[in-house]
Structure 1
Amino acid sequence: MIQTRHWLLAATIAALLVGGPALSAHAKTTTQHGNALAAYNVKRYKTVKNRNLFVKRYAFQQSYTNIFQTSPTQISSTKGKAVTFKSNVFLPVTYQRSADWGNPQSEVLTPNGNTLYELITTSSQSTTGRIVRYNLGALRHFGITSTHMDALRRATYDHSVGKLTATDKAILKNVTVGPLFNTGHGQSLARNPKNGQLWFIGKPGAVKSNVQQVSTKTLKPSTKVNFTLKNTVPMGSNLTFDKHGKAYFFTYSNGGWAPKGAVKIYQGTISTKSVHFHLVMQGLRYAPGTKPQSMAYNAKRNRLYFVSDSSLASIPVSKLGKLKASQVEGTNLNGHREFEGLQFTSNGSGYLLVNKGAELMQTTHATF
């Protein structure tokens, strides 16, 4: 017993020295049998011919010359629906070592805009990462959205070099750093507004996949559901929920019975016991961009958003399966940033997570 305690103590100390607890596991696991995807007739599938605002892959650009920037930047629409996003919060890129928080993959923003959950992987190709929770409501008092936009980045940088000021310490009291765990690619962190649960897809792009619930207190997985959509249909890499608790993800068609490059939309339910989806039998003929980066839901407008780099598309939930081309909105944007996530507050204000450097950008329009 004494040896076991000594081993546990040593493991805990070692984990803390490398930046947090060891990879968390031991989530309560359920394995679902049978297909999680409802059967469908491919001959009945159709697409709506939306405006083609496809953006090709490009080299990602950084927005700063000094990481401790204090002036906001912005990106604006160049085609389609008008929108401008302006820097709201410059998120940390360094916490324990240089650029260790430089790979944000997804975000969850609570409806009141006061709490942000950011999923960060340890490197661009890593499937290991953590969730960081920011109390934005409290952090705003330090001027991180106005007069001292560099304050949050400076506090985490000072933490990395062991030179925390009193202000740094006060700021970091409102930043909760979760433990490392196996995140998959990490693009899919989403909040179900019906019950407040956080979920992500543990194995995106896999036939045998899983979804995992994350505790909002411990910031690590608490429940895992293993499932197979269908042996010929891999799980997507993005996830969102509408106000009724219905879950959604989307993929791009590789051709065959659906036009190549079309957006396939899936709707279903996710719980701690089971996963069920069905294919919406109408998709979008033209995808917004090369890579599906994220999916979002705006309760104010009751619309789903498909996020690609510098290109966004959206549709009304009430018209799923019976869309007209005029009901599909699309936007191309400048800046050549990497788009990592999109969230909306209850008043319809949009918050875009972008990289190089990591920041949260807010719409200047009332709704988008």
Structure 2
Amino acid sequence: MNFHLKKELELVLFSVVTVLTVATPAFASTTHTVTGNKAVSHTSKVVVNQYRSKSSNKRIYALKSAGHGRYTLNAKYYVHTFTKFTLQRTAKISGKVFYEVKSPSGYVGWIWSGYLGDPTTYYSKLSANTFQVKANATNNFYNHVPGGDYGKGKLLHYGKNYRNKTMTVTGEAQKVYKTHYYRLTYKGKNFGWVYGAALQKVSAVTEKTVSGVSVYTQSAVALKSFDTSKYSVVKNTNYFVNAPSTYGVSPNYPSFSTTSNTIKHKSGNGDTDFTTDFYLPSTFKKSGDFGNAQSVVIDGDMIYVMNEVSGTTTDQGFVVKYDLAKLRTLAKSSQDLSVLRRAAYNKINKKTLTSDQQEALKCVTVGPTFTTGHGQAMAMNPKNKQIWFIGKSGASTETSNIQELNKTSLRPDKEIDFKMGQNQNTPSNLTFDNNGNFYAYVKNAAKWAPTNSLKLYKGVINSNNTVQINLVMQGLKYAPGTHSQSIGFNSDPRDPRGPRLYFVADGSISSVPVNKIGSLSSNDVRAETFQSYDNNNKPTNTREFEGLVFDTTGAGYLFTLRGVELMRATSSNF
């Protein structure tokens, strides 16, 4: 070592610090040779429980000349986990790499390199982007960012074994380099951290045309990652209704009724009944497909009903468009709310049609059969008047899709394929708010949330034909009932409570204010249960509640089966 370096190293002692003799296995000798003098200019941190040393035993040393080119390491002070330093120089002391460091308060000394790691910034906003491991990747996967705040990290997987594999990002961190590190999942399981240079981006979406439908397949999973420890539920009152083994039917069904029937309020907030607005066909084709209606959309004077074809294994269905305004006029003039249902029955059975029935059939447009899925998740986006439906609800790693319905052809002309991700199944109901956000809910079965609680998702269909979904980090302790049949949105301007979301199960409906989603109190949640009746006005099992929609005036309409009918709410106080 030259004379000037020797002098520089002798100056690092502070007379104000008590000098202690160090006796650790790593540096047992009392005198050391020192080689090298390389300038360093970046920042480092003391890491967590690295090597044999506990946090309380990590020390800064003074390097003091013992003559004849030998030096002693004397302890100056202790340092603790995450203490941050600026590195000045590096040198080898008896073959061990040490750094001369300077603390923010100006203290200078030498520390063993094994105690240090590069400062790492962990981003709280997690990503759900999809990346592919490069074909020539050599970087490995670790349980933490290697060489960062948590030390060297534990090797989990060799990168070369996963070349060309597609993985999903759930976390992001930056060490001292411009390129970030990413935490990934593979096949639905946590896989570890890897340096970003080992990854390449996958195109956000690919496009192809199938039978005249533009099909977009997004590479990233739709659901953004979330922290289950931050999830909570509001303790709403329990109005859960168990679905019956056999559903009730409307009075006089399957006979025709000229007058309305009523499903009445039973318990809960408000005092809402539902009375018949119009009876729809319960059969048209001989298979009775019209009797298996699953969802409804109101668009001005028109309503759109999606019907599932019974007994198929390929999820076939069709959409029917009704001119509701004209049908209501016919029903009033003929004094028969079943005028269309009678017309459909007579048409099938080749019976004579009255003039009213002939006019009623002119108000109906039947669309072609296509793959609709179950069909219960159809809704209109009030922002752009587009009608969308979930054509397939897959498990986390299965492909789901959402499709746009052409209002003229009554078949889809756009489909977005996606995987839900994050170990969550795609819900099978759908509604939109005035800003174009969509919502869906499920009755929970996950271990980290109460059984039979309600989980709510909020998403958006992007302009690049991808879907992005977030789990709302607050649910309801009690869902309305066994089957998550439908979800509705109402922005009645007369309602001082503001826009609300409605969660529909058979015989039970709950609602919450949209502007308080995520920060609800128990008083914000309203719920009602309802009683169905037979033709003798005796209580029966609940009818199947297939949908709840609202018109521009805020009037609510319940869509029910056995037989198919649209029922108007007597109030909006539910």
TM-score where L is the length of structure 2? 0.58
Residue type at the aligned position of 1:247: F
The question of whether the paired residues in 2 share the 8 Å contact of 1:25 and 1:181 is answered with: no
Equivalent in 158, 178, 201 of residue 367 of structure 2:
178
Q: Deviations over 1:324-352 (max 9, x none)?
A: 00000001000110000000112211100
Alignment CA distance shift 1:366-1:238 (3 Å): closer
Task: Give 3-state SS (helix, strand or coil) of 1:102's partner.
Answer: helix
Aligned length: 343
- Which structure has more strand as a fraction of its residues? 2
Tell me if structure 2 keeps the 8 A contact 1:67–1:357. Answer: no
Provide the rounded CA distance (Å) in 1 between the counterparts of 2:511 and 2:341: 33
SS in 1 for 2:251: coil
Matches within 5 A, 1:1-368: 25-58=211-244, 59-65=246-252, 66-81=254-269, 82-97=271-286, 99-110=288-299, 112=300, 114-123=301-310, 127-143=315-331, 147-163=335-351, 164-207=353-396, 208-230=399-421, 232-271=423-462, 273-300=465-492, 301-335=498-532, 336-365=542-571, 367-368=573-574
- Relative distance call for 1:314 and 1:212 in structure 2 (3 A) is same
CA distance in 2, matches of 1:125, 1:350: 32
Aligned residues of 1:90 and 1:144 also touching (Cα < 8 A)? no
Partner amino acid, structure 2, of 1:135: D
Secondary structure of the 1:34 match is coil
CA distance in 2, matches of 1:76, 1:135: 27
Structure with greater Cα Rg: 2
Alpha-carbon offset, residue 253 of structure 1: 1.6
- The CA deviation at 1:148 is 1.3
CA distance in 2, matches of 1:198, 1:299: 18
Task: Check the 8 A contact 1:267/1:277 in 2, yes or no.
Answer: yes
Relative CO higher for 1 or 2, CA cutoff 8 Å, sep ≥ 6? 1
In structure 2, give the amino acid aligned to 1:319.
Answer: K
Q: Distance in 1 between the 2:477 and 2:230 partners?
A: 15
Calculate percent identity across the aligned residue pairs: 40
SS of equivalent residue, structure 1 residue 30: strand
Deviation per CA, 1:187-246: give whole Å up to 9, x if none.
101000000111111112433201010101111011000001215211000000001110
RMSD over aligned CA atoms reads 1.8
Q: Give distance in 1, aligned partners of 2:273 and 2:483.
A: 22
**TM-score calculated relative to the size of structure 1:** 0.89
Amino acid at match of 2:304: Y
Q: Distance in 1 between matches of 2:530 and 2:462?
A: 36
SS in 2 for 1:88: strand
| Secondary structure of the corresponding residue to residue 559 of structure 2 | strand
> C-alpha displacement at 1:271, in angstroms?
4.5
Aligned pair in 2 of structure 1 residues 25, 121: CA closer, same or farther (>3 Å)? farther
C-alpha deviation, 1:367, in angstroms: 5.0
Equivalent position SS for 1:153? helix
Contact 2:395 2:420 in 1 (8 A): no
By how many angstroms is 1:64 displaced?
2.9
Deviations 1:25-57 (A, max 9, x none): 431100000121112111100000000000012
Q: Mark the CA change 1:327 to 1:262 in structure 2 (over 3 Å): closer, same or farther.
A: same
Q: Cα offset for 1:261?
A: 1.5
Q: Helix, strand or coil for the counterpart of 2:242?
A: coil
**What do the CA deviations read for 1:300-333 (whole angstroms, capped 9, x no partner)?**
1400010000000000000010000000000100
CA contact (8 A) 2:237 2:478 kept: yes
What letter is aligned with 1:70? Answer: T
Report the residue type matching 2:479 in the other structure: A
Q: Against the structure 1 CA distance between its residues 85 and 256, is the aligned structure 2 distance closer, same or farther, given a 3 Å change threshold?
A: same
Structure 2 Cα separation of the partners of residues 275 and 33 of structure 1? 10
Pair 25,200 (structure 1): closer, same or farther in 2 beyond 3 Å = farther
- The 1:306/1:90 distance shift into structure 2, 3 A limit, reads same
Task: Report the alpha carbon displacement of residue 68 of structure 1 after superposing the two structures with TM.
Answer: 1.2
Deviation at 1:168, TM superposition (A): 2.4
Partner of 1:16: none
5+ unaligned residues in a row in structure 1: which ranges? 1-23
How many angstroms apart in 1 are the aligned matches of 2:229 and 2:362?
A: 56
What CA deviation, in whole Å up to 9, does each residue of 1:275-300 have, x standing for no partner?
00101110001010011000100111
Assess, with a 3 A threshold, how the Cα gap between structure 1 residues 204 and 364 changes in structure 2: closer, same or farther: same
Deviation at 1:125, TM superposition (A): 7.1
Structure 1 runs of 4+ aligned residues shifted over 4 Å read none
Matched position secondary structure for 1:326: helix
1 CA distance for matches of 2:390 and 2:507? 24
Change in CA separation of 1:25 and 1:328 when aligned onto 2, cut-off 3 Å: farther
Amino acid in the other structure paired with 2:521? K
> Matched residues in 2 for 1:283 and 1:45: separation?
8
Q: Secondary structure at the match of 1:283?
A: strand
User: Do the aligned partners of 1:55 and 1:289 also contact (CA within 8 Å) in 2?
Assistant: yes
For the 8 Å contact 1:255–1:261, the answer to whether it is kept is no
* CA distance in structure 1 between the partners assigned to 2:312 and 2:556 by the alignment: 28
Distance in 1, matches of 2:565 and 2:477, equals: 31
Instruction: Note if contact 2:274-2:569 (Cα within 8 Å) is conserved in structure 1.
Output: yes
Q: Distance in 2 between matches of 1:69 and 1:327?
A: 39
Contact map agreement 2:334 2:356 (CA 8 A) in 1: no
Corresponding letter in the other structure for 2:340: L
Query: Is the 2:379–2:389 contact (alpha carbons within 8 Å) kept by the matching residues of 1?
Result: yes
Contact 2:308 2:372 in 1 (8 A): yes
Q: Which residue of 1 aligns with 2:169?
A: none
